[in-house]
Structure 1
Amino acid sequence: MIALLIPALASAFDSVFHDGFEFPPNHGSPLGSNLDGVVDWSTSYTFVDAMKQSRDWITQDTDGGVWDTGDEACLDRDDNGYLRSLAPVLSNPGCSSPSYNAVATLFSFGDLAGHYPSGRYIVSYDGNATISYHFAAQKNLALSQPGRDVVDVDASQGGWMMRLTAIDTANPPRAIHVWMPGFDEHSGPAQLFHPDFLALVRRNRVLRFMDWMNTNNSGQQEFAQRPRLDDVRWTTGGGVPLEMMVELANRLDADPWFTMPHRASDDYLTRFAQRVHALLQTNRRVYVEYSNEVWNGQFTQSAYAAAMGSAAYGNVASAYERQLSWYGQRSAQTCELWKSAWGSQASRITCVLGAQAANAWTQQQAADCPLWTAGAPCTAHGLDAVAIAPYIGGYLGSPSTQDTVAAWSLDTLFDELTVGGALAGGPGGGALALSAGWIDAHRSVAAARGLHLVSYEGGQHLVGYSGAENNAALTALFTGANRDARMGTVYASHLAQWRDHGGELFMHFTASGGYDKWGSWGAVEYIDTPATPKQQALLQFIAANPCWWPGCE
């Protein structure tokens, strides 16, 4: 049903959402945003159908009190991930000695502290099964009927669980939808995205879907592996279907930024491009990037590019030079495939080459790709822009200085960010000055190659790493700084510096996300509390700084 509705949704939605606006609210905006990953513990409740953001099936032993028996490999699933029965499929790869009698899924099960909608949820489904609800949820027996459960949820009690203890194998449950309060099987399919989520991101010029696509460490290779609209959930595998990403861009009059899977075949890239061309509004642009941070060794796409570079070029130069040259080569090929697929409208595509902010040489090597003797330089194949992540403050999470920094006051931390001098051996001028130097270096390399300079991520980078993430005092300092009004002032300086040093489109990381030892990335912690210093600074910069580069209108 959802697949049939999507082509007609944008125009119907625009008449409501844009009512009273002469232009879309992101008209002239110089900023974009990455979107938080679609997982059940995310602080962003993205879709009105919460089933799409539920956790993958968990096998349970209710008799033995075992929360997770670890038998997920044994599950009898259909092509869309729905359960056909509770009986284990012993022939499934990885299935061995299963011991479960129930299967469950979770909703809003992270540390959300009540920041998701309480109220009446409608669970609609086809087929027959015995379904129960637990923790923050209670089935309203008086209002429920076969195929339509009414569930009362109290978010202050934490997350909640749906459990299946019996399945009619002749008519198993499918098309399961969990409509959030205010929506049901009649209004939900047309709304799709939760209004709170739309309100949070509506001022952004561009939306980067890296985490929606599960780009890092992706295993997708062929187009048939892509996520589908009718999948039971979009929290696993390849993430959110491309049709939903395009639909969001259409509704918000935003440009989508796709980060293509590093293993994607030429056919995958071409068919993805063709599908986007068919669905995206004709007044929108599209940003295309081959994978994400291929220079970064923590991701499998880095090792993949290194192996492909060695296979393509042999034992020449260094392993890292081979990796970067091949990354440039595949980025150029990705660009050519997309622009060929779009034909006469190829000018609507911005092909992006990623580079490490702290090392402009990574841009130079990938852009020039000197080891690709048949095609160098890569900039001759349609690449339009280089993208960096000019974060501020990342060095403050180092394990070597964690005890010193953890003992600081917030005053000392903000002094280090803005003027420096608080950390022995730290960068002259502090975190902002360090970032400015990176921008200048990349701007010089990009200008010499006819490339625009944009950011793919940016903002603060206060987080411990390599063990320092477990320093509770350090985490408390960093999360406190992100909630402090002075962080809004730092953001204002960060954005103005980007503009004044020759940067163009700036993509913040990220729209929303909880603050903990793994980072405080969100412009907001919770989407029901959007008035944060960081979010206000972003909105104020948009209002005061219409996009300044040629052709941005």
Structure 2
Amino acid sequence: MPLLVALALLAFPPQTSYRDKIGVGLEGIGSRGLEFVDVMKTTRPLEKPSGGPAKIDANGWPLEDFKLVAFDMRPVMAWAPPMDDPEGYQMDVSGSYSLSFKGKADLTIAGDSPDFKIANKKYDPAQNLTTADLICPKGKALMVVTFQNTGGAVKDIHLLRPGYSRASKQVFTTPFLKAIQPFPVLRFMDWLDSNGTNPFYGDAKNTTEWSDRHLPTDATYTRQGRKFGVPWETIIALANEAKKDVWINIPVAASDDYIKNLAALMKRDLNPQSAIYLEYNNEVWNWGFLQSTYNRMAAEAEVKAGNSNLNNDGEKNWDVWRRRRHARRSLEIGQIFLNAFGKDSFGKRIRPVMAWWVIAPDQYKDMLEWVKRTYGAPNKYFVAIAGAPYFNPHEAPKTASPDQLLATLRRATDAWVPGRKTLIDLAKSYGLKCYAYEGGPDSGGGDPTNVANRIRAHRDPRMKELVYRDLKTNWFDLGGDLFMYFTLTSASSRYGMWGLSEDITQTNTPKWQAIHQLMGK
């Protein structure tokens, strides 16, 4: 090797790439991700023109006159000032939207400006098809469309974003596909509407069945009765088109039949090269979500009924029962998928994960020990344990400046090192990997106090170094494995500044720069 080359390598050693170890969680649909070409898939539930839910059929199409909120991309609290965002950033969603639907209707359009327009409206009686262009002016971000004199016969509504022809069959927007390109794994927790959508355990019908799910043909993929979450077929279509592995969250109330049907669907339709990470719902440990209550009630009812292995050692603490039930259901989900894909797919295509509360390694250990005593070695059933090692500025003064917030965030990620190392070492002791099912800087919580400076801190160029340090030095260098950053996009508000960016078209923010560097770009 020439001397100059050798000296250069010593001075600038090749950078390790973590390209295969950084995934991303997708924001809930209908927000800054602009995921679908057809806006109709992410509209709010249809309303009567005068307010209140509109009557709909089984597929979500209206049975009477109605209005739809096509989108609202205004900064948080723009509707009830003052806004959270000191800069009032608003992504550009202006342009001409292509509307089409079966049937006839009188249309009016409104929003955050009187300058919205309807143009080129036509009705083709041969096809019973109405078409029109809806014009959203520059700088505006709320579109509401009212359909009247419909006779309850309007169906098959499509509202395509600017830049896509009315004949386009493209499902996912080009900016969205470009933004997810660097990540090998996508987590669909928010797409699946995992939090608080499951039935109450005390309901007469307290399971989620395969027939309860959304279908691609449904009017919208937002919550509608017992239907919630993007259709599995659509998730598969995205994974296939983008060539991604999927991290999916199984509903807490899903029956075995639901899981068997899902496994069969994925075996049949998912790209054979795509791996499937399996997680039982989301944060079943978290009392802020209904799934935690469901799991506890199910565990208590089972023990009360007798012949349960949740108390096979005489354990009398319901909190232990609920943790064991969570571990067991995580195990059972994996086994159902392995029955469909073949036992030799374990750790390859099928990757069951036992996720729990990251600050409680003793509880992980208790669950793993119970699995070991009851079923055998945990690494025969799980590939990893997982937690959400966020770092936050909670120790900062209430009136902290951006500089103070960034300094507190730096101390917070470094303070996490012992706790993360404990969990990573615990995983290794059972022959398991340690994943982060979510992670990144957390400055949310819903409190509007000092929110302007919290947002400024997240936009600061120094956030790049913080995110880089949190993932590389304080996760990967400790032995941590797959890190699922939360999230790809989001608004910035009192509820959090989660996103790598606030606009799907912007992939050079400080947080994004950290990801690019970690991936060796």
**Both proteins in one fold, TM over 0.5:** yes
Residue 76 of structure 1: which of 52, 55, 60 is its match? 55
Contact 1:213/1:238 (CA < 8 Å) preserved in 2? yes
The offset of 1:263, in angstroms, is 0.1
Report Cα offsets for 1:10-42 as digits up to 9, x if no partner. Answer: xxxxxxxxxxxxxxxx99532100000013xx1
Kindly report which structure 2 residues correspond to 1:160-179, keeping only aligned pairs within 5 A, or say none. Answer: 160-169=143-152, 172-179=153-160
Task: State the shift of 1:271 in Å.
Answer: 0.5
Is the Cα contact below 8 Å between 1:453 and 1:503 reproduced in 2?
A: yes
> Size of the alignment, in residue pairs?
462
- In the alignment, is the contact (CA less than 8 A) between 2:208 and 2:258 conserved in 1? yes
Task: Specify whether residues 377 and 478 from structure 1 end up closer, same or farther in structure 2 by C-alpha distance, changes over 3 A only.
Answer: farther
Query: Which ranges of structure 1 fall in alignment gaps of 5 or more residues?
Result: 1-25, 62-67, 87-102, 419-429, 545-553
Q: Kindly provide the CA deviation profile for residues 281-332 of structure 1, in whole angstroms up to 9, marking residues without a partner as x.
A: 1111111111111111111111111112222334833221111011001111
Matches for 1:278-317 after TM superposition, within 5 Å: 278-314=268-304, 316-317=315-316
- Give CA deviations for 1:380-434 in whole Å, capped at 9, x if unaligned: 66211111111111xx34xxx6xx623222222222222xxxxxxxxxxx21222
Letter in 1 for 2:28: G
Partner of 2:503: 526
TM superposition shift of 1:378: 7.5
1:551 paired residue number: none
**What code does the residue aligned with 1:388 have?**
G
Could you tell me how far 1:129 is from its partner in structure 2?
2.6
Partner of 2:441: 460
CA distance in 2 between counterparts of 1:325 and 1:503 reads: 24
Q: Which runs of 4+ in 1 moved over 6 A?
A: 142-145
Judged with a 3 Å threshold, the aligned counterparts in structure 2 of structure 1 residues 155 and 29 are, in CA distance, closer, same or farther, namely farther
Q: Residue 29 of structure 1 aligns to which amino acid in structure 2?
A: D
Are 1:432 and 2:413 matched, yes or no? yes
Q: Give unpaired runs (5+ residues) of structure 2.
A: 1-16, 76-88, 199-206, 305-310
CA deviation string 1:340-362 (max 9, x = no partner) = 11126633110011021111123
* Matching of residue 410 in structure 1 with residue 399 in structure 2: no
- Residue aligning to 2:83: none
Provide the C-alpha distance between the structure 1 equivalents of 2:167 and 2:141, rounded to a whole number of angstroms.
28
Local SS of the residue matching 1:184: coil
Asked if structure 1 preserves the Cα contact closer than 8 Å seen for 2:19 and 2:518, the reply is: no
Q: Is it true that 1:274 corresponds to 2:264 in the alignment?
A: yes
The amino acid across from 2:46 in the alignment is W
Are the counterparts in 2 of residues 353 and 367 from structure 1 also a CA contact under 8 Å? no
Distance 2:234 2:48 in 1: 29
2: CA distance, partners of 1:378 / 1:242: 32
CA distance in 1, matches of 2:106, 2:403: 57
Deviations 1:47-71 (A, max 9, x none): 110111111112232xxxxxx3x3x
Greater alpha carbon shift after TM alignment, 317-326 vs 252-261: 317-326
Aligned position for 1:182? 163
Q: Is the 8 A contact 1:43 1:514 kept in 2?
A: yes
Secondary structure, in 3 states, of the residue corresponding to 2:72? Answer: coil
Take 1:378 and 1:117, find their aligned partners in 2: how far apart are those partners? 52
Please report the RMSD computed on the Cα atoms of aligned residues, expressed in angstroms: 2.2
Within 2, Cα distance between the matches of 1:521 and 1:182?
28
Q: Is the 8 A contact 1:491 1:534 kept in 2?
A: yes
- After TM superposition, the score normalised by the length of structure 2 is 0.84
Give the aligned partner of residue 469 of structure 2: 493
Q: Percent identity?
A: 27
Distance 2:455 2:252 in 1: 33
Instruction: State the Cα distance separating 1:142 from its structure 2 match.
Output: 6.4
SS in 2 for 1:493: helix
Structure 1 length-normalised TM: 0.79
- 1:164 deviates by 1.4
